[in-house]
């Protein structure tokens, strides 16, 4: 089968890091440890579900890997070579008899690989339902890696077929297209921090970043009935317009410190050095950028005892003045993937809630902007990197365009094996 495979290469990873700083909007496929390969189907010793992938989104973490921006400290939490792709909509080809799945069922894949998938007794976090914080991501009967797409033991979504644990599949309603279903992962990534830190109606909220996850955050808050004042920070005019259409009260394009302070009701206080301080401001900041600039702006724009939530997958961040942290007793936390959350007094599975929102009229117009065939992967990644040039938000690989006889025969043989 055809698959996009990333292999481990320290020199090429570092080269990607250098090229990403010089030309951040370009993709150099010939200089990346990444390409289209013919690989065998993974063996199904575990009795999991065989899927024919339909669409797979390109995630910011995929781009970060190719740009060499991932934290060196997270190296133990991935294993290569691996088929990339974890934002997956697919159809069941074969499933164990004792599972709830049948051939033809359309599903999305919640891609986490925690204790249950690794054949381990539940750790303290998995036993609480917080499997996104599993303490066994490097243990058990799978290679290291908490997420499908960064794990050499399993396939990923950027391939014709893959295997997935039955318990990690969520049914796509008949009313929901694959094009909307593939947004479930990015939606869940925004939904989790919002469920965990839902604002009061009298709060002022800043959303840093107007890419796909930031756009979801704005829409989720409005879809769940929040009346908080939402101030979004965008980089490009098309993102600005999309955020306004999604429900933001005000969208600023790359504001300076004074402009941001004014937008959230903070007083600008000049300083001789350091660019000035802010007094008062926002109650909550959701940071989907997680850069030195966004972190610094957020710390200054928060009122006393305000809360900062880092959702963007930052590694090292350059020099930041943290005086606001202790001077104003700020609270700082992060958000990792998704698991369960609380909504209207009920404990809900975040990924399932994402699918439910999508199937109930959640606004998706303008979010999935580009799809490409697997053979055109270089163009797809170029489009994802160059947001301003292509006006791209979510870019996806369309696996439905593959029509190979050997792919069909492989699926048939696996289906016969699963039914036996």
Cα–Cα distance for residue pair 141/151, rounded to 1 Å: 12
Residue 209 exposure: Cα atoms within 13 Å on the Cβ side: 25
| Domain locations along the chain | 2-112+147-183+367-419, 190-338
Scanning 264-340, the segments in alpha helix (DSSP H) are: 292-301, 323-327
Record: fold of 2-112+147-183+367-419: Quinone Oxidoreductase; Chain A, domain 1 (3.90.180)
Work out the mean pLDDT of the chain and round it to a whole number: 93
**Residue 261: what pLDDT?**
97
**154 compared with 325, residue with greater pLDDT:** 325
Kindly state the average pLDDT of the residues 135-161. 95
pLDDT of 5 above 90: yes
Q: Are 146 and 77 in contact (CB under 8 A)?
A: yes
**Residue 406: what pLDDT?**
44
**Residue 410: what pLDDT?**
52
Instruction: Return the H-helix or E-strand segment holding 107.
Output: strand 106-109
Kindly state the average pLDDT of the residues 352-367. 97
CA-closest candidate to residue 333, choices 310, 352, 354 = 310
Q: Tell me the DSSP string of 133-196.
A: G-S-TT-TTS-S-SBTTS-TTS--SSBSEEEE-GGGEEEPPTTS-HHHHTTHHHHHHHHHHHHH
Q: Tell me the DSSP string of 340-409.
A: EEEETTEEEEHHHHHHHHHHTT---TTTEEEEEEGGGHHHHHHHHH-HHHHT-SEEEEEGGG---HHHHH
Least confident of 60-64, 91-95, 224-228, 314-318: 314-318
Cα–Cα distance for residue pair 254/208, rounded to 1 Å: 10
Cα–Cα distance for residue pair 23/20, rounded to 1 Å: 5
Cβ-based neighbours of 183, under 8 Å, separated by 6 or more: 57, 212, 216, 358, 364, 367, 368, 394
pLDDT of 185 above 90: yes
Cβ-based neighbours of 412, under 8 Å, separated by 6 or more: none
The predicted-structure confidence for 312-336, as pLDDT tens digits, reads as follows 988 888 899 999 999 999 999 999 9
pLDDT of 62 above 70: yes
pLDDT of 181 above 90: yes
CA-closest candidate to residue 322, choices 362, 274, 289, 360 = 274
Cα–Cα distance for residue pair 39/35, rounded to 1 Å: 12
CATH number of 190-338: 3.40.50.720
Cα–Cα distance for residue pair 336/178, rounded to 1 Å: 25
The predicted-structure confidence for 188-247, as pLDDT tens digits, reads as follows 999 999 999 999 999 999 999 999 999 999 999 999 999 999 999 999 999 999 999 999
CA-closest candidate to residue 261, choices 229, 293, 203, 300 = 300
Residue length of the chain: 420
Q: Are 70 and 14 in contact (CB under 8 A)?
A: no
Q: Which residue is associated with the tokens 């909550």?
A: 284
Kindly state the average pLDDT of the residues 388-411. 77
Q: Which of the four pLDDT bands, split at 50, 70 and 90, describes residue 419?
A: very low
Q: What percent of the chain has pLDDT over 90?
A: 83
Full-model pTM: 0.93
pLDDT of 420 above 70: no
Give one word for 308, left, alpha or beta, with left for phi > 0 and alpha for psi -120 to 50.
beta
pLDDT of 107 above 70: yes
Q: Which residue is associated with the tokens 């990873």?
A: 13
CA-closest candidate to residue 206, choices 299, 282, 267, 257 = 282
**72 compared with 135, residue with greater pLDDT:** 135
């Amino acid at each position: 089968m055809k698959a996009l495979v990333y292999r481990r290469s320290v020199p090429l990873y570092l080269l990607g890091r250098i090229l990403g700083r010089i030309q951040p909007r370009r993709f150099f496929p010939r200089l990346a440890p990444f390409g289209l390969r013919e690989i065998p189907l993974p063996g199904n010793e575990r009795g999991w579900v065989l899927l024919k992938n339909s669409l797979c989104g390109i995630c910011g973490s995929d781009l970060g890997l190719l740009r060499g921006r991932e934290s060196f400290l997270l190296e133990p939490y991935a294993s290569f070579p691996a088929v990339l792709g974890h934002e997956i909509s697919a159809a069941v080809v074969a499933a164990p008899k004792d599972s709830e799945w049948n051939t033809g069922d359309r599903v999305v894949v919640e891609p986490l690989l925690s204790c249950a998938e690794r054949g381990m007794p539940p750790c303290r976090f998995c036993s609480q339902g917080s499997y996104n914080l599993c303490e066994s991501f490097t243990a058990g009967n799978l290679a290291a890696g908490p997420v499908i797409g960064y794990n050499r033991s399993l396939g990923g979504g950027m391939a014709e077929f893959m295997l997935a644990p039955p318990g990690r599949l969520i049914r796509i309603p008949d009313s929901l297209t694959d094009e909307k279903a593939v947004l479930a992962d990015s939606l869940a990534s925004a939904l989790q921090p919002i469920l965990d830190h839902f604002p009061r109606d009298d709060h002022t909220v800043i959303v840093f970043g107007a890419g796909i996850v930031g756009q979801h955050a704005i829409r989720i808050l409005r879809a769940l009935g929040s009346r908080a004042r939402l101030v979004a920070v965008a980089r490009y005019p098309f993102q600005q317009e999309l955020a306004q259409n999604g429900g933001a009260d005000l969208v600023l394009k790359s504001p300076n410190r004074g402009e941001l302070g004014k937008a959230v009701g903070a007083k600008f206080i000049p300083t001789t050095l350091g660019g000035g301080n802010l007094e008062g401001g926002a109650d909550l900041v959701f940071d989907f950028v997680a850069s030195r600039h966004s972190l610094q702006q957020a710390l200054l724009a928060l009122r006393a005892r305000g809360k900062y939530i880092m959702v963007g997958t930052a590694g090292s961040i350059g020099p930041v003045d943290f005086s606001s942290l202790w001077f104003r007793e700020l609270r700082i936390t992060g958000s990792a993937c998704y698991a369960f959350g609380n909504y209207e007094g009920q404990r809900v599975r975040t990924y399932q809630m994402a699918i439910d929102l999508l199937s109930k009229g959640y606004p998706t117009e303008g979010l999935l902007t580009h799809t490409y065939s697997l053979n055109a992967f270089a163009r797809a990644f170029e489009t994802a990197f160059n947001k301003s040039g292509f006006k791209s938000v979510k870019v996806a690989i369309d696996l439905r365009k593959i029509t190979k006889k050997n792919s069909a025969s492989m699926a048939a043989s696996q289906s016969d094996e699963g039914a036996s």
